[in-house]
Amino acid sequence: MNKVYDVLIIGGGIIGHSISFFLNKCGVHTVVVDKQASGNKATQAAAGMLGVHTENEKTGAYHKFCEKSRDLYGGLHKELREITSIDIELSKFGMAEVAVHPDEKKRLHSKKMSFPYLTWEEGQSLRERIPALSENALGALFMQEDGHVEPRQVCEALKRAALYYGGDVLEDQAVIGFKKKGDSFTVNMEHSTVSAEHVVVASGADSGRWFKDTGLCNPIVPTKGECFSIKMREKFFNEALFFRDFYVVPKADGRCIVGATSKAGDQSTDTSAGGLSDLMNRVFSHFPEWREAAFLNFWSGVRPGTEDGVPVIGEHPSISKLYFATGHYRNGILLAPATGQLLKNMITKKKIDPSIQALFSANRLVERGESTYEYSS
Amino acid sequence: MNKVYDVLIIGGGIIGHSISFFLNKCGVHTVVVDKQASGNKATQAAAGMLGVHTENEKTGAYHKFCEKSRDLYGGLHKELREITSIDIELSKFGMAEVAVHPDEKKRLHSKKMSFPYLTWEEGQSLRERIPALSENALGALFMQEDGHVEPRQVCEALKRAALYYGGDVLEDQAVIGFKKKGDSFTVNMEHSTVSAEHVVVASGADSGRWFKDTGLCNPIVPTKGECFSIKMREKFFNEALFFRDFYVVPKADGRCIVGATSKAGDQSTDTSAGGLSDLMNRVFSHFPEWREAAFLNFWSGVRPGTEDGVPVIGEHPSISKLYFATGHYRNGILLAPATGQLLKNMITKKKIDPSIQALFSANRLVERGESTYEYSS
Amino acid sequence: MNKVYDVLIIGGGIIGHSISFFLNKCGVHTVVVDKQASGNKATQAAAGMLGVHTENEKTGAYHKFCEKSRDLYGGLHKELREITSIDIELSKFGMAEVAVHPDEKKRLHSKKMSFPYLTWEEGQSLRERIPALSENALGALFMQEDGHVEPRQVCEALKRAALYYGGDVLEDQAVIGFKKKGDSFTVNMEHSTVSAEHVVVASGADSGRWFKDTGLCNPIVPTKGECFSIKMREKFFNEALFFRDFYVVPKADGRCIVGATSKAGDQSTDTSAGGLSDLMNRVFSHFPEWREAAFLNFWSGVRPGTEDGVPVIGEHPSISKLYFATGHYRNGILLAPATGQLLKNMITKKKIDPSIQALFSANRLVERGESTYEYSS
Amino acid sequence: MNKVYDVLIIGGGIIGHSISFFLNKCGVHTVVVDKQASGNKATQAAAGMLGVHTENEKTGAYHKFCEKSRDLYGGLHKELREITSIDIELSKFGMAEVAVHPDEKKRLHSKKMSFPYLTWEEGQSLRERIPALSENALGALFMQEDGHVEPRQVCEALKRAALYYGGDVLEDQAVIGFKKKGDSFTVNMEHSTVSAEHVVVASGADSGRWFKDTGLCNPIVPTKGECFSIKMREKFFNEALFFRDFYVVPKADGRCIVGATSKAGDQSTDTSAGGLSDLMNRVFSHFPEWREAAFLNFWSGVRPGTEDGVPVIGEHPSISKLYFATGHYRNGILLAPATGQLLKNMITKKKIDPSIQALFSANRLVERGESTYEYSS
């Protein structure tokens, strides 16, 4: 038993390190514990889109939270670069959601009603600008403010900035269990034991166990996503393009990231041949020329889906000072800054917007009947 | 200028090292020169099938040469293992050519007439034995004697065995040009110059230039092939399966190699996204379960096709002691032993079977009209 | 809760899979659970030496166990090849322990008294045979019967052979905890729960927790080892050479494995710059020519050392049907076959040699005073 | 024969692409030809230091050229980012040349006389600021304006920006030879032939052949350099540190690049075990704590040294419109911008500073006696 931390965070992905960054920056000292290296799971697999308007059809508390998080990236870009010299590669080129079917066009027009500042580009103009697009493309809704970042750089920069502000990191250490004794938690890891005033579960698709172990329903649905990348000789467009069942994100060096399958309940770490094949077939039907592109790489990640599609961010209903910040599904990169800030506000007892608090609350996971709760090991 | 070699071999693929092995073993000293590392081009990309009967529809000189080469592998397996400890992984499990269309079934039955020792297995029995096969499979012609080897191991073992017998290797050295002076050749390489009594061009898809530079028609058609591998949890069959437009080669560790596209005239070194996608679609139509398999790897290689589909193995029509051993298209692994032995016999003035000599002769490449030959640099 | 296994084995290294192989072969069905992929930890880092006589100075129960295990590899080589086609690369070239100091020469002569069948080779003869050796080499004790194997191939082959005999494997699944209910164990893993009649802890350097959780002293001292490999142009000797503070293992393809540092208490997974540098300096002082060799690769692994230097193989002193098979330090590859066979004999209630039983018994780990045992999660 | 280019550049390293960038930007169309992928040789191996004052002891034409080139990076940083979105990671943190011996201190004080704007930092202050430094450090000369860039990013960005301005690139194509016919050159490559008004040899350590083939003395001395990288937990200093026989370049993510050995005449592509070991021993004598750092990677590159230590940049003495831009040894990254601009000025007949022209002129390579020049293939 070495040290008493203010906060121990289980999970060294982008969410865990964002929480750690915001807390340490205001003097609350944390340790982030991960069973592997940081950013090694859903974070490394993500394309990094900040899809505020691809992930929302209309305004509301969730849209507001997304927008706030995206806007935090502007300041983070500069701040992280100054502290760590790492460039998170924030793109200013926007995103476009492409319609390839009249129904989608209709849906996008309705979305434009909700968000009048988005702009519609007709098919012909779009195809002239992006010649690789097939005749299928009927137009696109352009979201100037929604760009993308490089997720691994963000995670590494947040981690290093948190270290700079006094935080700590333990990697290659699985958390075996924790017990609350009086006012603090004793946390057993494979190779050591530490104490902490607060515990935050931010372990993404591996979070399920901690809900069950603390007497709650497990809302986590691990959902595998498979991606690949190709390399075109010349880069021909700058914005990320979002289709109904795939997206493409162009990178500065001519690579283009294509994602992603969505396999609920699959937490294996390999990339299935069939998943890859389906994704390729989809992409080539809309970008026939890309069949000539060089295939570069493929990978997969397991994203923390939830049963109701909403993250769980908040305190445990009955164990005080135990928090959850998980279940972001494919929006973990987008929501990392706002989630970090929200947890910081919760733990430091700042005032929280009630609609946000209600939306993400863990209270929806209380089971009826007798609890079998034993959160030790 | 350091040394006079008996034979300088341009190209350190499986063909070049096989020639080197057979020559050094009988006391003829060689140097193999390659612009990269050995076995880095078509050799590394090959699946290693010894498809005597998938590559021939009926008996004849070519079939005889294939059969002889395959049979040489039996002895090589032991000999190379003794000298170098390298196991070339000679499989004894045979190959099967599968019919998925009545026309193919007909063709295979006709092939069985030519080769009565092959055995026909009906669709139902085949599908029971290999449950991953779809209902499309109408039966297969089984070739017990045609197995496969691990091409990189063969190439490495031949190279090391040739070194053992006194041969030499120069890697990362491009040959710039050669000149015949009196009875021997002066060969300029990027970083040095050597002399040799004989020169053998065995540089596969890069051989074209040497035909042109010595006044011949260039028969070489570089032909890209793209492959991928998957991993099944359990290995369910042992023989290589050959279909009209792809093949699958199971490996001992559960990997399955799937090949190959065939793009004549394409000598780029990347793997095209479309080529991969086509190959996957073809495979999954006959092995639907394999969609669940883990995608492991992908690669490509450029094979030395020829315009008439026949390798060029023999002496230059007008420059004595200059030999070609190239143009093996996708049969380089199968034919490496017999090609090595044939070159050894040619250079050491042994008697050659006239039908073989005629079949592979470079005389077919003599252009009419004036030669512009200048084989210097 | 899916299924009741006869035996659940925690840890998919070479020890776990060997136990699984021997059990399934005689009809006892097992499941091997590993938090990562099989063979990913100490197994993959090992050089594969079967150093019966480098690991023993004199005869006794431990030497006998080592010798028996080495001899089991002879039959396994054939059996695993038949079932799985995998070649475990059993070398017949022996090992030699080299003296570079008069004291070591003395020690080796004394070892030869204990094992009269070993042969002594004087320095001059040794250096003529292995010209890369420096003048420091005073002679070597040659152990003809002690060769080496390829550890990853052994592990993979044992795993596949166990699958063939009906075993099961769960990878990427951490065991969280287990509870004994009546006659069987309920084992909680991250993503599922299974039941088993017996549990075997074979998780190497990660085993410590299971001793503590079940009320025993933790004997495990994780001990990092760092290695590197070089490539010589020509292979010049065949036997593994063992020095006081490093060893070299030549491979068929000209690679030479050099190992290993020994850092007790260090369980980090990186390779330290200083560890590598020390090892290089040591090797070059005895093989000065190797400074010219190409540096190929470096890696590390954490070996399960024990406080008294002896593995723990046997039943838990107070929890029946819970077994340990861990703490093999750097002898895991050598001892895997005999350990697998011993566990099989223990679980199937065969008669065990009492000296072996006593040597490895877990009874030495019973602490005085009150047990705080709670082996749940 | 497809097209007549204004300029064909042999060699797709940072020098070749810089020339291409400056030429295309002012409307002169080029094609860059490389036998491999761009930036694959000396460029990829470089640490990217802009060591104007580590590479010069006093003022003069060479120092002036270095300074100008470094200053060009300021504008390039912005321009390349705008055109290609690639960040060349220009560091503003400066460099420091460290004295570890009184003689070096003396030399550095004398250098400060030549460059009064450099600042001297005493040993104690230096060691307080960089605690990893040993007591050996007697002080350092600090060069605020000399930073570093990421060479691969620079090369890729120059290549893409040249493409943007209308340039062309042919990769995986060796140039076999060229002939001047009338006013233009016919250039034979492995797979095609093109024409160009001018030819520029920018093929680094592989340039030697083109001097010899065109009747000049070959000034190129290929000089291998070997490097490694380590990872510290926390980054503790920002400037590159230059010692007499090694240097260290810290990166934003905590990696530290350590280089480099210097092996004149060695053009092999492997990294020698002894070279690596020497470099490690040197570094650890000044940074003893770094022994604990994780060893990350190692690599080597062959730099184009010259016999007199000066690059060759200028027109062939007797073949008009044939230019050289090679022999930059370890200053290729530093000098790429000024070399590109100089070649652009030469080819477009702008006025050149006579001291620069004289310094780099190829006239010094004219051999006495009869020329055996034949620059064909």
pLDDT in tens, D54-81: 999 999 999 999 999 999 999 999 999 8
Give the number of other Cβ atoms within 10 Å of residue A173's Cβ: 18
Interface membership of B212 toward D (CB under 8 Å):
no
> Which residue, D140, D121, D319, D127, is CA-closest to D215?
D319
Q: Is the pLDDT of residue C107 over 90?
A: yes
| DSSP string covering A22-51 | HHHHTT--EEEE-SSSTTTTHHHH---B--
> Cα(C8)–Cα(C178) distance, rounded to whole angstroms?
11
> Which residues in A lie closer than 8 A to residue C208 (C-beta atoms)?
191
pLDDT in tens, B260-270: 999 998 888 89
Q: Which of A247-261, B69-83, C93-107 has the lowest mean pLDDT?
A: A247-261
**CATH classification code of C93-147+221-306:** 3.30.9.10
pLDDT score recorded for residue A122: 96
C-alpha span between C136 and B32 (Å, rounded): 37
The alpha carbons of chain A give a radius of gyration, in whole angstroms, of 21
The nearest CA of chain B is from the CA of D176 a distance in Å of 7
Ramachandran region of residue D329, left (φ > 0), alpha (ψ -120 to 50) or beta?
left
Encoded amino acid at C373, one letter? Y
Residues 83-102 of A with CB under 8 A from D: 84-87, 89, 91
Judging by DSSP bridges, how do beta strands B4-10 and B193-201 pair with one another? parallel
D318 vs D324: CA distance, rounded Å: 13
- Domain residue spans of chain C: 4-76+151-219+308-365, 93-147+221-306
Q: CB D254 to CB A160 under 8 A?
A: yes
Phi, psi of B295 (to 5 degrees): -75, 130
Q: Are C226 and C261 in contact (CB under 8 A)?
A: yes
The predicted structure's pLDDT at residue A368: 58
pLDDT of residue C234: 66
Domain D94-147+221-306 superfamily per CATH: D-Amino Acid Oxidase, subunit A, domain 2 (3.30.9.10)
pLDDT at C229 > cutoff 60:
yes
List for chain A the helix, strand, coil content (%; round to 5): 35, 25, 40
Checking if the pLDDT of B93 tops 90, the result is no
> Is D176–B269 a contact, with Cβ atoms under 8 angstroms apart?
no
CB C118 within 8 A of CB C304: no
**D370 has pLDDT over 70:** no
Partners of residue C255 in chain B, C-beta under 8 Å = none
B273 contact C CB<8A: no
Count the Cβ atoms, other than its own, within 10 Å of residue A84: 22
Segment holding D5, helix H or strand E:
strand D4-10
pLDDT of residue A370: 47
pLDDT of D148: 92
Q: Is the pLDDT of residue C37 over 90?
A: no
> Has domain A4-76+151-219+308-365 been given CATH number 2.60.120.10?
no
pLDDT recorded at residue D82: 86
Q: Which chains touch D (3 or more CB pairs under 8 A)?
A: A, B, C
**Would you state the pLDDT for residue B252?**
76
**C-alpha R_g of chain B:** 21
What span, in angstroms and rounded, lies between the C-alpha atoms of C342 and C351?
Answer: 10
Q: Nearest-CA distance from D216 to chain B in Å?
A: 16
What is the torsional sign of CA C230, C236, C239, C242?
A: negative
For residue B367 the two structure tokens come to 């252009």
What is d(CA C228, CA C17) in angstroms, rounded to the nearest whole number?
Answer: 26
Nearest in space to A78 (alpha carbons), one of A157, A159, A136, A25 = A157
Residue C125 has pLDDT above 80, yes or no: yes
For residue B265, give the nearest of D33, D187, D191 by alpha carbon: D191
Rounded to the nearest 5 degrees, what angle is found at the Cα of D196, between the Cα atoms of D195 and D200?
A: 130
CATH topology of domain D4-76+151-218+308-365: FAD/NAD(P)-binding domain (3.50.50)
Q: Which residue of B has its CA nearest to C157?
A: B253
Q: DSSP assignment, residue B148?
A: B
Nearest chain B alpha carbon to A281: B277
Q: What is the pLDDT of residue C267?
A: 85
Is residue D9 predicted with pLDDT exceeding 90? yes
Above pLDDT 90, what percent of chain B?
Answer: 82
Kindly state whether C270 is in contact with chain A, defined as any CB-CB distance less than 8 angstroms: no
End-to-end CA distance of chain C: 16
Report the pLDDT value the prediction gives residue C82, as an integer from 0 to 100: 86
Q: Do domains A4-76+151-219+308-365 and A92-145+221-306 have the same CATH topology?
A: no
Nearest CA to CA, how far is C294 from chain B (Å)?
14
Å from D123 to nearest chain A CA? 26
Using alpha carbons, select from B160, B155, B39 the residue that is nearest to residue C236: B160
* pLDDT tens digit sequence for C126-181: 999 999 999 999 999 999 999 999 999 999 999 999 999 999 999 888 899 999 98
Identify whether the C-beta of residue B342 lies closer than 8 Å to the C-beta of residue B356: yes
| Nearest-angstrom CA–CA distance, D204 and D221 | 10
Report the run of H or E that residue A158 belongs to, with start and end. helix A151-164
Average pLDDT of every residue of chain C: 92
Percent of chain A at pLDDT above 90?
82
pLDDT at A14 (0 to 100): 98
- Per the model's pLDDT, the better-predicted residue between B199 and C255 turns out to be B199
Q: Map residue D289 onto helix, strand or coil.
A: helix
The pLDDT assigned to A190 comes to: 83
Give the separation between CA C234 and CA C223, rounded to whole angstroms: 34
Helix axes D151-164, D14-25, angle to 10 degrees: 30
Across the interface, do A253 and D156 touch by the CB < 8 Å criterion? Answer: yes
pLDDT tens-place string over residues B332-371: 999 999 999 999 999 999 999 999 999 999 999 997 544 4
Q: Does A160 contact D238 at a Cβ distance shorter than 8 Å?
A: no
pLDDT for res C2: 57
Distance CA B349, CA D242 (A): 63
DSSP assignment, residue B52? T
- Looking at the domain A92-145+221-306, which fold is it? D-Amino Acid Oxidase; Chain A, domain 2 (3.30.9)
Give the three-state DSSP class for A341: helix
Burial bucket for residue A189 (CB in 10 Å: 0-12, 13-18, 19+): buried
Contact C179, C186 (CB under 8 A): yes
Query: Would you state the structure tokens that stand for residue D54, as one six-digit string?
Result: 């580590």
The count of C-alpha atoms lying within 13 angstroms of the C-alpha of B108, restricted to the half-sphere facing its C-beta, is: 25
Reply yes or no on whether the pLDDT at C120 is more than 80. yes
Q: Are strands C247-250 and A255-259 parallel, antiparallel or unpaired?
A: unpaired
C51-82 per-position pLDDT tens digit: 999 999 999 999 999 999 999 999 999 999 88
Q: Give the closest residue to C294 by CA, choosing from C254, C252, C236.
A: C254
Per-residue pLDDT for C274 more than 70? yes
With CA atoms as reference, the chain C residue closest to B253 would be: C86
Task: Give the sign of the dihedral formed by CA A229, CA A232, CA A237, CA A238.
Answer: positive
DSSP B211-248: HHHTTB---EEEEEEEEEEEE-SS----SEEE-SS-EE
Tell me what the mean pLDDT of segment B64-88 comes to: 93
Ranges under pLDDT 70 in chain A = 1-2, 233-235, 368-377
Q: Say whether residue A294 is in contact with chain B using an 8 A CB cutoff.
A: yes
Specify the pLDDT at position B276: 96
Q: CA nearest B218: which of B237, B205, B231?
A: B205
User: How would residue D170 be classed by pLDDT, with cut points 50, 70 and 90?
Assistant: very high
Query: Which amino acid, residue C263?
Result: K
Q: Distance between CA atoms of B155 and C292, rounded to whole angstroms?
A: 25
The model's confidence at residue D195, banded by pLDDT at 50, 70 and 90, is: very high
Q: Do D176 and B267 touch (CB under 8 A)?
A: no
Is residue D270 within 8 Å of residue B37, measured between CB atoms? no
Residue closest to C333 by CA, chosen among C244, C283, C259: C259
Cis amide linkage into residue A37, ω under 30° from 0:
no
Q: Minimal Cα distance from A88: which residue of D?
A: D87
Please give the structure tokens belonging to residue A348.
């430091």
Residue of chain B whose alpha carbon sits nearest to that of C232: B160
For residue D260, cis peptide bond before it (omega within 30 degrees of 0): yes
- pLDDT given for residue D234 in this prediction: 66
The Cα–Cα gap between C278 and C263 comes to: 12
* CB count in 10 Å sphere of residue C366: 13
Query: What is the pLDDT, as a whole number, of residue D1?
Result: 46
Residue pair D356/D61 in contact (Cβ under 8 Å)? The answer is: yes
Distance CA B49, CA B69 (A): 12
Residue type, C202: A
Interface touch C253/B160, C-beta < 8 Å: yes
Using alpha carbons only, give the angle D293, D294, D300 rounded to the nearest 5 degrees.
Answer: 110
The pTM of this model reads: 0.84
What is the per-residue pLDDT across D309-318, written as a single tens digit (0 to 9) for each?
A: 999 999 999 9
Homologous superfamily in CATH for domain B94-145+221-306: D-Amino Acid Oxidase, subunit A, domain 2 (3.30.9.10)
Q: C249: which 2 tokens?
A: 């293992």
Between residues D33 and A87, the one the model is more confident about: D33
